């Protein structure tokens, strides 16, 4: 799937309130890099960051998957800046996909959140 194809798919599949100006920056075999923009005058909340993590995990899995288990480690608070998500599939096993994502504030230097998940592949 190309960046444009994934962008189009996610825009259709993700509710507008969870997109946060989503831009697919890079899409390789099972790795994705997404950028999310903070709405003017707002701060990142934990529910918003969890939505970003879940969207990035689903994107790495190809978009058609449902999160069944999610582990999140918050490393540091989010800055009032764009959030970069680097997500990848770790393993595919029958109908289950195991993936991880790292969220960064503004630049890929120090992560602020790490999440691992199991997703159920849908057809």
Task: Give residue 49's pLDDT.
Answer: 95
Look up residue 10 and give its two tokens. Answer: 């996610």
Architecture of the domain delimited by 3-121: Roll (3.10)
- Percent of the chain clearing pLDDT 70 (strictly above): 98
pLDDT for residue 75: 96
Question: Residue 96 carries which DSSP code?
Answer: E
CA dihedral 43, 45, 50, 51 (to 10 degrees): -60
pLDDT at 82: 94
The pLDDT value recorded for residue 77 is 93
In this predicted structure, what is the pLDDT of residue 123? Answer: 52
Residue spans of the chain under pLDDT 70: 122-123
Q: What is the dihedral of CA 46, 49, 50, 52, to 10 degrees?
A: 160
**What does the domain layout of the chain look like in residue ranges?**
3-121
């Amino acid at each position: 799937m190309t960046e444009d194809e994934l962008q189009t798919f996610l825009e259709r599949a993700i509710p507008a309130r969870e997109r946060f100006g989503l831009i697919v920056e890079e899409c390789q075999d099972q790795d994705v890099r997404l950028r999310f923009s903070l709405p003017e005058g707002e701060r990142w909340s934990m529910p918003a960051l969890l939505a970003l993590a879940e969207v990035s995990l689903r994107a790495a899995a190809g978009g058609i998957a449902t999160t069944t288990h999610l582990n999140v480690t918050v490393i540091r608070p989010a800055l009032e800046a764009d959030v970069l998500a680097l997500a990848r599939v770790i393993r595919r096993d029958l109908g289950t996909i195991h993936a991880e994502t790292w969220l960064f504030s503004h630049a890929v230097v120090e992560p602020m959140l790490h999440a691992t998940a199991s997703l159920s592949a849908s057809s």
